[in-house]
Amino acid sequence: MTILIYLIITILFIIISTGKYKLHPFLALLVAGIIMGILGGLDTSIIIKSLSDGFGNTLKSIGIVIACGSIIGAFLEKTGGSKSIAEFLLKLTGKDKSHLAVNMTGFFVSIPVFCDSGYVILSSLNNAINKKTGISLAVLGTSLAAGLYASHGFIPPTPGPLAASAIIGADVGLVLIFGFMIAVPVSLVGWAWSTFYCSKFLIDAQSREKQEFESDRRSPNVMIAILPIVIPIIFISLKSFIEHPSIIIENDHLEKVIIFLGNPTIA
């Protein structure tokens, strides 16, 4: 019971320090670990070793994946790949359902890109759609945020689900598959909420910084832009599929290649 109280105190420290005092989450978690160790009566040498081992093991399992994911995110941002994906989805849905396109764009972009960065990148898209269609920024902003946070919270290789998979020893491929199954309806619920509730609030881009979302001829084709997102997902999913006990592959070399390419670090 005492340990539970200490745990609650530590969690409250993390929430207050990051939420109210804007302390960086890494520092907040580091200090929280020290506090928990001291309250739990651990020797200082054990506390330091536990922190070092925990950080090292987590970094060993997901460090390369996070670094490569950040590179993909920077690639999409700098080359205009995010805009190419957005333009393609806008053509599919039409102007009347452009907030659905925004939701879908956020969903896919947030897989390799941090959700907060994705929101900043795509904010100009919201402003441009508002000016063209008259759809409230409350609707567009909520729909975009729902798509961004749904995939960011459930689908690897975003750091949260990836770290959770490493901590509990879960198969990343299965986490990815089930993450999609959960994230898609969650994202659509956010879109529905923005449609039926947020439409009551009329906010336009005229009172905000004027940003135009324009097509850039140098932006890559949508198929090229989406490949860095799709290829790792396919490889990781294939690895989990062939490793299922019910699946038998006679070609050992093919199986080894798929398992190698499907490892999150390689994919």
Residue 210: pLDDT above 50? no
For residues 66-89, give the mean pLDDT. Answer: 73
CA distances from residue 116 to 39, 84, 89, 110, 216 in whole angstroms, order as listed = 34, 19, 21, 9, 23
Place of tokens 């928990």: 36
Whether this prediction's pTM lies above 0.75 is answered by no
Percentage of the chain surpassing pLDDT 90? 12
What are φ and ψ of residue 157, in 5° steps? Answer: -95, 30
Cis peptide before 157 (omega within 30 of 0): yes
Residue bearing the bigger pLDDT, 201 or 31: 31
- Residue 212 confidence class, pLDDT cut points 50, 70, 90: very low
Residue 121: pLDDT above 90? no
Q: What is the pLDDT of residues 85-101, one digit of tens each?
A: 777 777 777 777 888 88
pLDDT for 12 equals 92
Contact assessment for residue 32 and residue 10, using Cβ atoms and an 8 Å cutoff: yes
Q: Identify the top-confidence range among 38-52, 122-136, 156-170, 204-218.
A: 38-52
What are φ and ψ of residue 95, in 5° steps? Answer: -65, -35
